[in-house]
Structure 1
Amino acid sequence: MAAPSDAPSARTSPASDRRDRLALALVVYAVLLGQTLVYPGVDLLTAEFGGSGVAGPTLFLAVEFAAFALFAGPWGALSDRLGERRRLVALAAGGGAIGYLALAVVASGGGDGGSRFPVALLLRGVQGAMTVGALSLAISALADRSGGNGRNMGVAGIAIGLGTASGAPIGGQLFEVGATVPLYAAAGLLAVAAAGSLTIPDRPPEATGATPNGTDSGGDADGGHGGLGALLAGVRDRRELAVPYAFAFADRLVAGFFALVGTLYFREAFGLGPGATGLLLAAFFAPFALLQYPFGLLSDRIGRVVPVAAGSAVFGLAVIAVGFAPSVPAVAATMVVVGVLGALMAPATLALVVDLGGEDGRGAAVAGFNAAGSLGFLAGSLVGGAVAAEFGFTAAFVVAGGSEFLLAVVTLPALVRLGRQSGRTAVFGGGD
């Protein structure tokens, strides 16, 4: 239970909520910026550890997101049970900073590179387990604020988008200085996030116990299991969560695809270096970041169905178009379209999770969302890399974009059924 001095105030003002949103958005931004700094030159970084070919970058990305999927649930459940976020965010961000620093030290060490790679993968897993706690709980803390789930998740989306948008070009420039420089920068960012999170007051619902219907609240939904347990338990207890979780999986599959296959494709097909590759990735992430907040507000007004279903369908087709674009300017223009569509659907999908999770279990619901997304990122890296290696980059783009399009078509009836529920979620508007 949180200490009395940490108990949320019974009264909040719009000004204090705005300050809290800004501070939490900065924490989310720092975490995502640190995470994405390594993407533009991930092949160069893994070479420092002794990893080679497509397998090295694939494993390095996959281990982190496997840890995300496994450990998002315990962080969310612990936060709901204790009734606090900020000190757990600080603990997780501090642990992530140490993990990045340890990776930099290992990469800079001498000796046999091949023997360093397994150590690097182990440290990467630990770093991912800590980092997901900071990210997931900071988003949960944003969901605790008043003002509407679409608004709050739009703020989270801006922070996520800006972190990834700036991480790509900045990381590319840092790689031009040295292969381990992005790791040291990420460690510093996580340390700042850890310190900054301690200044933000907690305003979560009361610590979990028995809910009015006599069952355990969502914070213990995973029954003490890991992120996958939270994901499965959340779907079991609230079956409707399967819909936004499926979209989280597909959306992050595309993100994982771009982080690995897209980066390698841009480097190989157009002969781009890390700096130019980062700028090309930013063509997607910039509009994705800047439009999240207004599109989040839009989902509060018109509901979640249209942004999620229509946005995802066209998003998938745009991803396929990237693989057929004949030149760098054409790729950049198509990536901008992908970013706009991603911004349309992302805050609505996350707001739908918060709608369905309820006050007593939003930490676990968001953790399940992050677990589903992490599994998607993992699948995007592994499946995208395998398809690209076996059938070529064009086929990989078709698989990644086609999966998003087919999901939107298949799940549309389920989204409409959610919209017809009364008094439970703001699927067709009228958010709180």
Structure 2
Amino acid sequence: MGSERRDRVVLAVVVWCVLVSQVLLYPGLADLVVALGASGIDAATAFLVAEVAAFVAFASVWGALSDTTGRRLRWIVAGAVGGAASYLLLAALPALGVGFGVALAVRVVGGAFTIGAFSLAVTTLADLSGGNGRNMGAAGLAIGLGAALGAVVGGRLSTVDPLAPVVAAAGLLLLVAGLAATVTERAPTCREMGLRAVVTGLKTRPALAVPYAFGFVDRLTAGFFALVGVFYFRTQFGLDAAGAGVVLALFFLPFALLQYPLGVVSDRVGRFYPVVVGSVCYGVAIVGVGLAPSLGLAAGLMAVVGVFGALVAPATMALATDLVPDDERGVALGGFNVAGSLGFLAGFLVGGLAADTLGYLPSFLVVGGLEVAIAVVALRAVRRLEPFADPEQGVHAADG
């Protein structure tokens, strides 16, 4: 068998590449939808929703396929190649003279393929030995750094050509296919990771609804910044795509780099303070970005949002795994990721609708308020569940 350390690094690079390919499009989204035959925040919302809706619909399909066949890597390659082909087709659409509706259809197909490469790469990391914390830490670091680099590079590329990030994304996914082909297959033949297993796990352990709810709202805020945040900084402060990408990176960089150390903090102090108090501070910081009167202050607050996001995210995911025994952690994390994908989708819809109908400041108030609200509503539930998590002694499963 190949070296697990090497495979861990390669799989982290795979996850990183997929995130970079996705986020490359965000800073120049306004210009991209114009190139594809539409304009405005409603068209940008539809463009993002098309992909993430496919993520939600097909993530469990890829999981079930990999479980049934006992193979993951071949499906990572297939998902990456299909995603790359979809990006190349998307880049060719303006020359073909087709409408924006065709672009949305291509986005759905591309999302259906790309989520296979991403979700199965993360699952393959979980298949490795060496500790779930180490493997998921590698995934979290790759996700955060991928989003940060994608925001900066995507913004730069968009100033050259609105379609340049799309072509670059295709190249990255082809690289993913090549890298995945070098990893040793270690998929278990008896693990059920499909949507049915997730639903069953939630029914048997309803306490998981608490971290799932936090995961939903946390990812909702990320979706909000990916769409509304970009439009806000470009229209309110006159930034181009490159500038908007840098501001997004101010959030993603601390969010990536601080997850591991702040996850260790949650092991020492418990989940309550990072999850509940962190969520309140996170929501207040989001509102602060919308209230900031200057670009410098708003950009600085984006970094603060990233710090509090890094405090909340690993503790919330850890709470989900705290509540189940070791042999059910895969299903618990699968459910957490499904909730997160739904939250990302809701972030586009809620944020886009609020910004389009109410304006930017109300949209920041709505999204930041949701983060504070979930912390207040679930305060007692998190306090009640925390005794089930003992990082020194192991996991004590909660049934309700």
Instruction: Say yes or no: TM over 0.5.
Output: yes
- TM-score normalised by structure 1 residue count: 0.85
- Are 2:193 and 1:219 aligned? yes
**1:199/1:146 Cα in 2 relative to 1: closer, same or farther (>3 Å)?**
same
Deviation of 1:267 (Å): 0.7
Deviation of 1:218 (Å): 4.1
Counterparts of 1:39 and 1:220, CA distance in 2: 29
- Are 2:269 and 1:294 aligned? no
**1:427/1:122 Cα in 2 relative to 1: closer, same or farther (>3 Å)?**
farther
Deviation of 1:334 (Å): 0.5
Tell me the equivalent position of 1:317: 284
**Aligned pairs for 1:93-172 within 5 A:** 93-107=80-94, 109-111=95-97, 115-172=98-155
Counterparts of 1:242 and 1:197, CA distance in 2: 33
- Are 2:261 and 1:274 aligned? no
- Are 2:340 and 1:340 aligned? no
Counterparts of 1:427 and 1:202, CA distance in 2: 33
Deviation of 1:146 (Å): 3.2
Counterparts of 1:117 and 1:258, CA distance in 2: 23
Deviation of 1:122 (Å): 0.7
**1:362/1:83 Cα in 2 relative to 1: closer, same or farther (>3 Å)?**
farther
Tell me the equivalent position of 1:3: none
Structure 2: tracts of 5 or more residues without a match: 396-400
Deviation of 1:419 (Å): 2.4
Structure 1 residue ranges, 4+ long, deviating more than 6 angstroms after superposition: none
- Are 2:185 and 1:202 aligned? yes
- Are 2:219 and 1:252 aligned? yes
Is the 8 Å Cα contact of residues 255 and 380 (structure 1) preserved in structure 2? Answer: yes
Counterparts of 1:55 and 1:314, CA distance in 2: 30
Range moving further from structure 2, 78-87 or 369-378: 78-87
Is the 8 Å Cα contact of residues 193 and 334 (structure 2) preserved in structure 1? Answer: no
Counterparts of 1:158 and 1:277, CA distance in 2: 22
Deviation of 1:198 (Å): 1.9
Secondary structure of 2:189's aligned partner: coil
**1:258/1:30 Cα in 2 relative to 1: closer, same or farther (>3 Å)?**
same
Deviation of 1:381 (Å): 1.1
Deviation of 1:358 (Å): 5.3
Counterparts of 1:238 and 1:79, CA distance in 2: 25
Deviation of 1:430 (Å): 4.8
Deviation of 1:96 (Å): 1.2
**1:358/1:431 Cα in 2 relative to 1: closer, same or farther (>3 Å)?**
closer
Alignment partner of 2:32 out of 45, 49, 61: 45
Counterparts of 1:429 and 1:239, CA distance in 2: 24
Secondary structure of 2:40's aligned partner: coil
Counterparts of 1:344 and 1:40, CA distance in 2: 25
- TM-score normalised by structure 2 residue count: 0.92
Deviation of 1:145 (Å): 2.8
Tell me the equivalent position of 1:18: 5
Structure 1: tracts of 5 or more residues without a match: 1-8, 209-216, 223-229
Deviation of 1:431 (Å): 5.4
Range moving further from structure 2, 231-240 or 384-393: 231-240
Tell me the equivalent position of 1:350: 317
Deviation of 1:429 (Å): 5.3
Tell me the equivalent position of 2:364: 397
Deviation of 1:265 (Å): 0.7
Secondary structure of 1:201's aligned partner: coil
Is the 8 Å Cα contact of residues 61 and 194 (structure 2) preserved in structure 1? Answer: no
Counterparts of 1:355 and 1:80, CA distance in 2: 24
Range moving further from structure 2, 330-339 or 241-250: 241-250
Range moving further from structure 2, 411-420 or 390-399: 411-420
Is the 8 Å Cα contact of residues 19 and 147 (structure 2) preserved in structure 1? Answer: yes
**Aligned pairs for 1:176-195 within 5 A:** 176-195=159-178
Q: Which amino acid letter does the alignment assign opposite residue 405 of structure 1?
A: V
Alignment partner of 2:232 out of 247, 265, 274: 265
Alignment partner of 1:58 out of 41, 45, 55: 45
Tell me the equivalent position of 1:226: none
Counterparts of 2:21 and 2:200, CA distance in 1: 31
**Aligned pairs for 1:370-389 within 5 A:** 370-389=337-356
Is the 8 Å Cα contact of residues 266 and 315 (structure 2) preserved in structure 1? Answer: yes
**1:366/1:135 Cα in 2 relative to 1: closer, same or farther (>3 Å)?**
farther
**1:196/1:363 Cα in 2 relative to 1: closer, same or farther (>3 Å)?**
farther
Counterparts of 1:23 and 1:354, CA distance in 2: 25
Tell me the equivalent position of 1:326: 293
- Are 2:140 and 1:173 aligned? no
Q: Which amino acid letter does the alignment assign opposite residue 397 of structure 1?
A: F
Tell me the equivalent position of 2:398: none
Secondary structure of 1:219's aligned partner: coil
Deviation of 1:312 (Å): 1.8
Deviation of 1:242 (Å): 1.6
Counterparts of 1:403 and 1:382, CA distance in 2: 14
Deviation of 1:166 (Å): 0.6
Counterparts of 1:431 and 1:86, CA distance in 2: 31
- % identical equivalent positions: 53
**1:41/1:163 Cα in 2 relative to 1: closer, same or farther (>3 Å)?**
same
